Amino acid sequence: MTEKFGHVARLRGGIFGLQKDALYIADPLALNSVLVRDQDNFTESTEFSGLFGVIHHGSSLASVTGPDHKKQRRILNPIFTAKFVSKLAPVFYGVSHQLRDKLADDVRSHPDGRTVDILDYLTRAALEMISQGGIGHTFHSFDEQSREFEEFHHALQTVLPTAGRLFFVLPFLESWRKLKPIWLRHLLAGAVGYLPWPSARQFKWAIDTMHVRCRVLFYQKRAMLEGGRVSDTKGSTGIGKDLVTVLMSANADAGDGDKMPDGDIIANMSSIVLGGQETTSGALSRLLCLMVQDVDLQARLRAEVTGAYATTADNYLSYKELNSLPVLDAVCREALRLYSPVTFVWRETKEDCVVPLQFPLRDTSGAEIREVLVTKGTSVYIGLAAANRSAAIWGEDVNELRPERWLGKNIADATSNGVKMPGIFSNIMTFLGGGRACPGMKFALLEIKIVLSVLLAEFEFQAVPEEIDWRQGITVVPYVKGKERQGPSVPMTVKIM
């Protein structure tokens, strides 16, 4: 985008002029304005807040704006801090060891390695981590007979692709989800199940499946908390330290004005699972693909993690110890810079507003433009991937995987000319910045580092002839070229070391 169209581009409204022109932004100063300085003027788009409100059957972080969003973040932010997330390391190791053992069982009888769909394994691991660590539940994801896993995972896999096919109804979902009286809304929602539109029916099935599971879990958890039996959650649920248990305990102690209604907590449980599953399994699959393409880097990273585990008595590295492994850290930063699992986010302008530019544009007469007027109601697409891959920001080697970019340097010096980005992580935009930045960033990084280090210590990963096509949707999803109809997959050969 930035090479061809610059750091700010106008997107022409299509479809017989029914859609208005929109702006695509990847300019550092403009991003800072949209995400941080003037963030109250650039709200979540009505289309996305309506969509996520419907998906999660209520008001989660992903669907509220303004003061309601600030209030939810005030309650939710503390549970995502290093203090709580670091306590999940034992849970993540437990799941990673299950993943390692399952993979070892499946490839053991092939001394030269066996080709497997690594995405399937990583998807199970990511769902298990977000469910155990996030909402305090196990789907028994590594048990191939687990109906609960099959059903819930199918719902997660169905929801965003079918939502993409409902494009024409997106503008109406926000008013639809607030329709009163409630019985009429329920009646109409029930009727969707009978529409001659398969995508709408599948979408409804997926969101209802997610909602019912989260609702049941919420009331079970509340009964345990009220009975003082948090330890009942032991074993399958992160020993009562999962993020939602922490949230519910904090909510019970909060003053009346700050308390979150039950429905909002249930909606946030659903949003945490959806937000945390596909993004991390996609990031992990990408990291392993990169390891396969660069075998020297794979060996270097393996040497670092096996060296670190060798110094421990129990093959366990804490949150802090994992973060101090320089190659692991640099590889994660660089992979997340080059391959952002979410490539753009969508905002809407509430009032006319002037946005300054770091990289000036030229108008048709050749005059320099240093700021743009963004009028009320304009859709603004924030180019996360485009900003991460701008040569003007990162230098001519922007498209190369170069972990050295991060080694032995201040994060701020990683851009080629000291440009400061408003992203919350590592000067990159992958987890966004400002008041709506991803709260799950530390959770995701801990999970990625633990899974990667456990797998590399045990297995060698090798390339296969198939080519992967990473397709852009609401997240980026991998398909084998020519076999797209078989659904997402990432084949690679795995050999026990």
Pick out the residues of the known binding site. Answer: 438
Q: Does 440 bind ligand HEM (CB under 6 A)?
A: yes
Nearest to ligand HEM of 398, 476 (CB atom): 476
CB of 130 to ligand HEM, least distance (A): 6
SS3 labels along 37-54: HCHHHEEECHHHHHHHHH
Considering the rule CB under 6 A, would residue 6 count as an interface residue with ligand HEM? no
Binding residues for ligand HEM, total number by CB under 6 A:
24
Largest CA distance in the chain: 73
Query: Closest CB to ligand HEM among 149 and 381?
Result: 381
Q: Which is nearer to ligand HEM, 79 or 224 (CB)?
A: 79
Closest approach of Cβ 193 to ligand HEM, in Å?
28
Q: Does 438 bind ligand HEM (CB under 6 A)?
A: yes
| Comparison of 49 and 493: residue with beta carbon closer to ligand HEM | 49
Tokens read off for 264? 């909002």
Question: What phi and psi values does residue 21 have, to the nearest 5 degrees?
Answer: -60, 150
Site for ligand HEM in 93-132 (CB under 6 A): 130
What are the counts of helices (DSSP H) followed by strands (DSSP E) for the chain?
19, 12
Give the N- to C-terminal CA distance of the chain in Å, as an integer.
42
Known binding-site residue numbers for heme: 438
Stretch that binds ligand HEM, among 26-34, 306-314, 426-434, 482-490 (CB under 6 A): 426-434
Question: Is 427 an interacting residue with respect to ligand HEM (CB under 6 A)?
Answer: no
What phi and psi values does residue 358 have, to the nearest 5 degrees?
A: -80, -40
Binding mask 310-349 toward ligand HEM (x if CB under 6 A, else -) reads: -------------------------------xx--x----
Q: Report the alpha-carbon distance of residue 11 to residue 94 in Å, rounded.
A: 47
Minimum separation from the CB atom of position 315 to ligand HEM (A): 24
CB-nearest residue to ligand HEM: 440
In which region does residue 482 sit, left (phi positive, over 0), alpha (psi from -120 to 50) or beta (all else)? Answer: left
Nearer to ligand HEM, 6 or 133 (CB): 133
Q: Residue 431 interacts with ligand HEM (CB under 6 A)?
A: yes
Minimum CB distance to ligand HEM, residue 298 (Å): 20
Q: What is the C-alpha radius of gyration for the chain, rounded to an integer number of angstroms?
A: 23
CB of 450 to ligand HEM, least distance (A): 13
Please, which residue, 6 or 282, has the CB nearer to ligand HEM? 282
Give me the least distance between CB of 73 and ligand HEM, in Å please: 6
Count CA within 13 A, CB hemisphere, residue 439. 25
Smallest distance, Å, CB 26 to ligand HEM? 14
Residues 212-251 that bind ligand HEM (CB under 6 A): none
CA separation for the pair 363, 163 (Å, rounded): 38
Q: Which of residues 257-276 bind ligand HEM (CB under 6 A)?
A: 271-272, 275-276
CB distance 454 to 96 below 8 Å: yes
Among 32, 430, 453, 493, binds ligand HEM (CB under 6 A): 430
Spell out the SS3 assignment of 411-469: HHHHCCCCCCCCCCECCECCCCCHHHCCCCHHHHHHHHHHHHHHHHHHEEEECCCCCEE
422/455 Cα distance (integer angstroms): 33
| Alpha carbon separation from 6 to 26, 32, 82, 465, 471 (Å, rounded) | 8, 17, 37, 36, 23
Q: Helices marked H in 261-417 — which ranges?
A: 262-293, 295-310, 319-323, 326-338, 384-388, 391-394
CA pair distance 441, 88, nearest whole angstrom: 14
x/- mask, ligand HEM, residues 15-54, rule CB under 6 A, reads ----------------------------------------
Residues found near ligand HEM in the complex (CB under 6 A): 61-62, 73, 130, 134, 271-272, 275-276, 279-280, 283, 341-342, 345, 430-432, 436, 438-440, 443-444
